[in-house]
Amino acid sequence: MKHHLRNSIATLAMFSAMGSTALAEDIKIGMIVTLSGPPAALGQQIVDGFQLALDQKDGKLGGQSIELIVEDDELKPDVALLKATSLVERDGVDIVVGTVFSNMLQAIFKPIVQSETFLISPNAGPSTFAGRNCNPYFFAVSYQNNQNAEISGLVANEEGYENVFMMVPNYQAGRDNIEGFKQTFNGTVTDEVLTPLGHQDFSAELARMSTSGSDAAYIFMPGGMGVRLVKQFDNAGLSESMKFLSVFTTDETTLPGQKDAAVGMLSAGTWAPDMPNDANQAFVSAFEAKYDYVPGSYAMQAFETANLIDSAIAKTGGDMSDKDALRGAIKAAEFTSVRGNFAFNNNHYPIQDFHMTKVVKRDDGKFHTSFVRTIATDYADSFAQDCKM
Amino acid sequence: MSMTLFLILCLNGVQYGMLLFLIAAGLTLVFGVMGFINLAHGVQYMVGAYLAFFFVQLTGSFFLAVVLSLGAALIIGLLLEYFIFRHLYTRTHLDQVLATFGIIIFLNELAKVLFGPATLSLSPPELLSGSIQLTETLRYPVYRLVTIFIGLAVAVGLFFAVSYTRVGMLIRAGATTPEMVSALGVNIQQLFMIVFGVGAMLAGFAGVIAAPIFAVEPGMGDNILIVAFVVIIIGGVGSIGGAFVAALLVGLIDTLGRSLATMVLSAVFNPSFASQIGPALASMLIYILMAAILVFRPKGLLPAKGANA
């Protein structure tokens, strides 16, 4: 009898021990990014950047063990929605990190924030959630989509461009980039060309560009479109007669394809791999050592997202249930940003510096964007004033 | 709009048309002669581009890579025929669509596994990498001009092969009455295999010469397949001549439409409306053309003789 009792006590103790480990179980972070099709290169950078930060902290953020669940949205809004719902309802994640593309963010936004789960965007920064529809459960670590275009307008002014030819793909982000550029650019826009998404042959557009009498082109052609355009721009001999200013067109994800054709092209952004601060240099060299490619802004923003979460969890002592405390801890953004200045605005979008960058070829034959000069400091987006937070 | 711009647009249109012809020629033979719907034809275009990329990396010579890619594309085409398509000839069109769609997904993913998801690029060969000065500000890449001539040469070659050789005659006969040709003692299985292999090689060749102009990425053949189907329907299924005329027509209309639609519309409507509608209308133009041609000539512009498709 006594023996039995002792056994059952032992069993009980074992169960309660298991119970307590279950209570202090890992903090779950869900990640929704695009990992199918050609844009998978962008999603992969985000996964890699986040993983690097996790590995550097032995799989812990803020001292707590992290279980990371990565999901592919396949660049389809319905798939993204399904994955988001299952992350929140089935897996019961504490934080969702996503997405690469703005239209995917719009698809997953509602079910996540309505379940009072924090949604942190490592890249997409649509205007939709920056103004009147800002949300206490949403943070963007990247930028607000219009900002890069606005800064490009300022770059064009500073570089003395007078006649600019604009070309973007025919979808929301393309049109936003045209509007943003026009807001700050003082010169003349010679023409605006909208191409289909995934456009292959830019020869007709390049012919129009070269006869338009423009001294520069402002381009937004992300991914494979950018690779094709830059190669064709160079093959048509336009690099000699025209300046090429772009956003999300000549970055670390497309440069391995564009190679020498892109060298010297300008762009506007929040960061470049050679930004001269210690945190950044440590990040870039650790990233290259681990993954053997030059990180782009996508990887950087994911790395920053992980560090932001790390700082927030450390501040709340691992308590994920007190949402207000956690929100305050995230908003405080007490982490060392590789971008330098970083703070959250009232709408939970960043206030940060923007720079002009230029494509360079490194001695080892790899290509990256290089910091040239700062265009705007502590730059906030123009939607924040409509946000009542 | 200046005359030079128009000229360049026409050159581009012709060049795009030639590329479409190379893809559509194989498709129209496979579809017309064998009555076989091969959705995987577009993916063979992608395979050609990846082969070119691979062999350029391996050998360092573009011309050597072209030859090797052609051989490899032919072998891959024949292997696909032997292992998969051969078993589908007698099945329904739905089975063919499902099976060939599966091949698209498989090869697209395989390309991603082997070469990564990022867009790759290939430089044109040193010899053809220059550009011709057309006006003060305008240059035209030599490589694009060369692709026009290559397309023309292939078209002429195919035309003679189909019209004047014994195999060509059998192909034409096989397209109309395969049972009769078979009854006359011709090995129709072998004939189909030749047609298929050549079709796959042509699509692969299109991919090879397109690789330096566009870029190499998984799924690059998916969109062009749809346009190729438009071409063979406009031209008349099974007709090489029809495919040639239709490919040029589609290439020119698509390229000119892209630039001119907005311009023409802004003469009538206000500019912001025109810039909204123009690009959308331009991408619809070839389908409108197809619908219009089907109304007046349901069998296409130059239907194959005696074709009952």
Q: Which of A40, A45, A90 is nearest to A69 (CA)?
A: A90
Residue B280's pLDDT is: 79
The two three-digit tokens of residue A310, written as one number: 């790390």
Residue B97 within any structural domain of the chain: yes
Give A-chain residues touching B129 at CB under 8 angstroms.
Answer: 235
* CB pair distance less than 8 Å for B131 and A235: yes
- CB–CB of A294/A37 below 8 Å? no
Torsional class of A267: left (φ above 0), alpha (ψ -120 to 50), beta (otherwise) = beta
Residues recorded for chain B: 309
- CB–CB of B205/B22 below 8 Å? yes
Output helix, strand, coil percentages for chain A, rounded to the nearest 5.
45, 20, 35
The two three-digit tokens of residue A127, written as one number: 């205007």
Q: How far is A194 from chain B (nearest CA, A)?
A: 6
| Angle in degrees, CA B203, B205, B208, rounded to 5 | 115
Q: State yes or no: pLDDT of A3 exceeds 70.
A: no
* CB pair distance less than 8 Å for A38 and B117: yes
Q: Identify the band that residue A67 occupies on the pLDDT scale cut at 50, 70 and 90.
A: very high
Q: How far is B185 from chain A (nearest CA, A)?
A: 46
- Which residue type sits at B201? M
As a whole number, mean pLDDT of residues A18-22 equals 41
Residue B138's pLDDT is: 66
Higher pLDDT, A381 or B128: A381
* CB pair distance less than 8 Å for A37 and B144: no
Cβ neighbors of A378 (< 8 A, separation 6 or more) are A341, A343, A351, A352, A353
Its CATH architecture, for the domain A146-269, is: 3-Layer(aba) Sandwich (3.40)
* CB pair distance less than 8 Å for A224 and B119: yes
* CB pair distance less than 8 Å for A203 and B119: no
Peptide bond just before B135 cis, omega within 30 deg: no
Q: What percent of chain A stands above pLDDT 90?
A: 71
* CB pair distance less than 8 Å for A237 and B120: no
Which one of A72, A235, A241, A263 makes the best mutation probe of the B interface by having the most chain B beta carbons within 10 Å? A235
By CB atoms closer than 10 A (0-12, 13-18, 19+), residue A115 is middle
Task: Quote the CA–CA distance of B268 and A105 in Å, as a whole number.
Answer: 38
Angstrom distances, CA of residue B282 to CA of A304, B11, B210: 42, 18, 22
As a whole number, mean pLDDT of residues A235-263 equals 90
Q: Return phi, psi of residue B167, to 5°.
A: -60, -40
Residue A14's pLDDT is: 47
Task: Quote the CA–CA distance of B107 and B114 in Å, as a whole number.
Answer: 10
User: Closest to A38 (Cβ–Cβ): which among B137, B140, B218?
Assistant: B218
Q: How many CB pairs under 8 A join A and B?
A: 106
Q: What are the extents of the domains in chain A?
A: 23-143+276-352, 146-269
Task: Quote the CA–CA distance of A311 and A293 in Å, as a whole number.
Answer: 27
Give A-chain residues touching B4 at CB under 8 angstroms.
Answer: 211
Cβ neighbors of A145 (< 8 A, separation 6 or more) are A102, A124, A125, A126, A127, A173, A176, A177, A180
Q: Identify the band that residue A206 occupies on the pLDDT scale cut at 50, 70 and 90.
A: confident
pLDDT tens digit sequence for A190-204: 988 888 877 888 887
H or E element, residue A252 = none
Give A-chain residues touching B279 at CB under 8 angstroms.
Answer: 170, 194-196
Q: Could you tell me the residue range of the domain that residue B9 belongs to?
A: 3-296
Please identify which residue in the block is written with the tokens 């092969």.
B161
DSSP B193-233: HHHHHHHHHHHHHHHHHHTTTS-B-TTHHHHHHHHHHHHHH
Cα A53 from chain centre: 15
Please identify which residue in the block is written with the tokens 């996540």.
A112
Task: Quote the CA–CA distance of A134 and A356 in Å, as a whole number.
Answer: 29
Is A28 in the B-facing interface, judged by CB distances under 8 Å? no
Q: Identify the band that residue A56 occupies on the pLDDT scale cut at 50, 70 and 90.
A: very high
Higher pLDDT, B139 or A363: A363
DSSP A136-153: TTEEESS--HHHHHHHHH
- CB–CB of B120/B217 below 8 Å? yes
Smallest CA–CA distance from A200 into chain B, residue? B214
Smallest CA–CA distance from A222 into chain B, residue? B119
By CB atoms closer than 10 A (0-12, 13-18, 19+), residue A2 is exposed
Q: How far is A236 from chain B (nearest CA, A)?
A: 6
Residue A16's pLDDT is: 45
H or E element, residue A244 = strand A243-246
Task: Quote the CA–CA distance of A127 and A67 in Å, as a whole number.
Answer: 31
Is B223 in the A-facing interface, judged by CB distances under 8 Å? yes
Q: Return phi, psi of residue A371, to 5°.
A: -65, 130
Angstrom distances, CA of residue A375 to CA of A301, A313, A337, B230: 20, 34, 19, 49
User: Closest to A41 (Cβ–Cβ): which among B117, B138, B255?
Assistant: B117
Is B132 in the A-facing interface, judged by CB distances under 8 Å? no
Give B-chain residues touching A165 at CB under 8 angstroms.
Answer: none
> In this structure, what CATH number is given to the domain that contains residue B25?
1.10.3470
As a whole number, mean pLDDT of residues A367-374 equals 95
Query: How many beta carbons lie within 10 A of that of residue B125, not counting itself?
Result: 16
Split into its structural domains, chain B has a count of 1
Smallest CA–CA distance from A234 into chain B, residue? B141
For the A23-143+276-352 domain, the top CATH level (class) is alpha beta
Q: For B112, what's the count of Cα atoms within 13 Å in the CB-facing half-sphere?
A: 18
Give B-chain residues touching A224 at CB under 8 angstroms.
Answer: 119, 215, 217
Task: Quote the CA–CA distance of A329 and B176 in Å, as a whole number.
Answer: 76
Residue A32's pLDDT is: 96
Q: Which of B225, B217, B239 is nearest to B306 (CA)?
A: B239
Residue A17's pLDDT is: 44
Q: How far is A42 from chain B (nearest CA, A)?
A: 9
Is B4 in the A-facing interface, judged by CB distances under 8 Å? yes
Is A179 in the B-facing interface, judged by CB distances under 8 Å? no
Task: Quote the CA–CA distance of B8 and B14 in Å, as a whole number.
Answer: 10
Smallest CA–CA distance from A195 into chain B, residue? B279
pLDDT tens digit sequence for A144-166: 988 999 999 999 999 999 999 99
Smallest CA–CA distance from B130 into chain A, residue? A235
Q: State yes or no: pLDDT of A374 exceeds 80.
A: yes
Residue B306's pLDDT is: 55
Question: Each residue of A21-37: b (16+ CB within 10 Å) or e?
Answer: eeeeeebbbbbbbbbbb
What are the helix (H) ranges across A275-360?
278-291, 297-316, 323-332
Taking only residues 183 to 212 of chain A, the set having a beta carbon closer than 8 angstroms to any beta carbon of chain B reads 192-196, 198, 200-201, 203-205, 207-208, 210-211
Is B214 in the A-facing interface, judged by CB distances under 8 Å? yes
Q: Which of B247, B256, B161 is nearest to B206 (CA)?
A: B247
Higher pLDDT, A87 or B258: A87
The two three-digit tokens of residue B249, written as one number: 């027509």
User: Closest to B279 (Cβ–Cβ): which among A194, A223, A224?
Assistant: A194
Q: How far is B98 from chain A (nearest CA, A)?
A: 20
Q: State yes or no: pLDDT of A107 exceeds 50.
A: yes
The two three-digit tokens of residue B266, written as one number: 């802004």
As a whole number, mean pLDDT of residues A31-41 equals 86
As a whole number, mean pLDDT of residues A272-283 equals 94
pLDDT tens for chain B, 309 residues long, are 577 778 888 888 999 999 999 999 888 888 877 788 889 999 999 999 999 999 999 998 999 999 999 999 999 999 999 999 888 888 898 999 999 999 999 999 899 889 887 788 888 887 887 777 776 666 788 888 899 999 999 999 988 888 889 888 888 887 777 778 888 888 888 888 888 899 999 999 999 999 988 888 888 888 889 999 999 999 988 888 899 999 999 999 988 888 788 778 877 877 667 767 777 788 889 999 999 999 999 888 888 765 444
- Which residue type sits at B292? A
